[in-house]
Structures are given as C-alpha cells and as structure tokens.
Amino acid sequence: MRKLLNNTYLASGYLSGLSILMITLLIVAQVVGRLFGFIVPSAEDFAVYSLASATFFGLAYTFHEGGHIRVTLAIKSLPPKVRRFQEGAILIFATLLTAFMAFYMVHLAWESYEFEEVSYGYIPIPLWMPQVPVALGSIMFAIAVADDLICMLMGKAPKYMQHEDEELSLDNDLGGEV
C-alpha cells in the first residue's frame, strides 16, 4: 500500500510538471505564431487551465515531500507530547478541510458536466474538462494529508516532519548556514 501511495504522489508531481510543460509549449506557440502572423486560438484559456492543473496536481507531491511552507519557530520549542498533540489536531483539521475541498471540486466538475457548461473563449471548451484535473489533484492532496494523519495515529512521524528533521540536521551540520 505504501508503494502505491508513494507512486500516486510521484505521478501527481509528474502531472504537475506536464501541465507546466503544456503552459510553456502554449506560450512558445503563441510567440512563434505572432512572428509568422497567426494566433493560437484560446491559448490564454488553455494556459490558465494548465496552471490550475499544475497547481492542484502539485499539492499532494509537495506535501508528501515536505515542500509546503510551515512556520516551525513556535512549535519547535513545544515539549514533544504537546507538539505531537498540536500536529495531530492540525492534521485532523487539514484532513477534514482537504476532504471538503475535494468533495466540492468533484461536485463542481460533475455539475459542469451535467449542465453542459462551456467556456467563453474562441474555442468553447466544456468546463468539466479543466475541472477534472483540479478535482483529481484535490483528491490526491486529501489522500496525502489523511495518509500523514494515519501515520501519526499509528505512532510514526508524518512524512513532512521527517523532511523537516533532515533539514534541521543538515542545518546543524553546516553550523546554521544554509
């Protein structure tokens, strides 16, 4: 199960990178098109959809790798039992919040599909198409947060804390210079 979850987070990161590559290709096509006197219809719309995909697909991978910004100045000074309780409470809240977000992102995509909503650009795109990657990214993020909550409830350190500990030891090895 652990390998499946890790591969899911990695796939999410690759999908985020692929979305960024799509943005790059769209911008290059638009620049080259202007040089030769043609436009790429709805390029801005597709770039925005790709940006949303990149953002939401990147959430699970970044969380799993400990890349989200955390202010640890105050929590580092807490006693271990208090810190563990605080981390657990935050993970419970984050799990509920991300599950709520994932549910409503799926609901939004489903409603757009049901009501046949389309974009207003040159090329009318059914809105459920760009909303599905956002919903999938939200689901993956909710799974990543719930995964760390389960790890903490089982007595293990969440993955993001393992990365923080690695950074702290690296920081101490370098004498505080990073």
Could you give the CA distance from residue 4 to residue 135 in angstroms, rounded to a whole number? Answer: 20
CA dihedral 97, 100, 106, 107 (to 10 degrees): -150
Q: In the chain, what are the domain boundaries? A: 2-173
Strand, helix or coil at 71?
coil
34 phi, psi to nearest 5 deg: -65, -35
State how far the alpha carbon of 20 is from the alpha carbons of 9, 40, 67, 100, in Å: 17, 18, 18, 26
Could you give the CA distance from residue 22 to residue 30 in angstroms, rounded to a whole number? Answer: 12
pTM value is 0.87
**Under a CB-based contact definition with an 8 Å cutoff, are residues 134 and 109 in contact?**
yes
User: Tokens representing 42?
Assistant: 């709805």
The reported pLDDT for the residue numbered 97 is 98
Could you give the CA distance from residue 148 to residue 145 in angstroms, rounded to a whole number? Answer: 5
**Under a CB-based contact definition with an 8 Å cutoff, are residues 59 and 94 in contact?**
no
Question: What does the pLDDT profile of the chain (178 residues) look like in tens digits?
Answer: 889 999 999 999 999 999 999 999 999 999 999 999 999 999 999 999 999 999 999 999 999 988 887 777 777 788 888 988 999 999 999 999 999 999 999 999 999 999 999 998 889 999 999 999 999 999 999 999 999 999 999 988 888 877 666 655 555 555 555 4
Could you give the CA distance from residue 62 to residue 39 in angstroms, rounded to a whole number? Answer: 35
Could you give the CA distance from residue 127 to residue 139 in angstroms, rounded to a whole number? Answer: 18
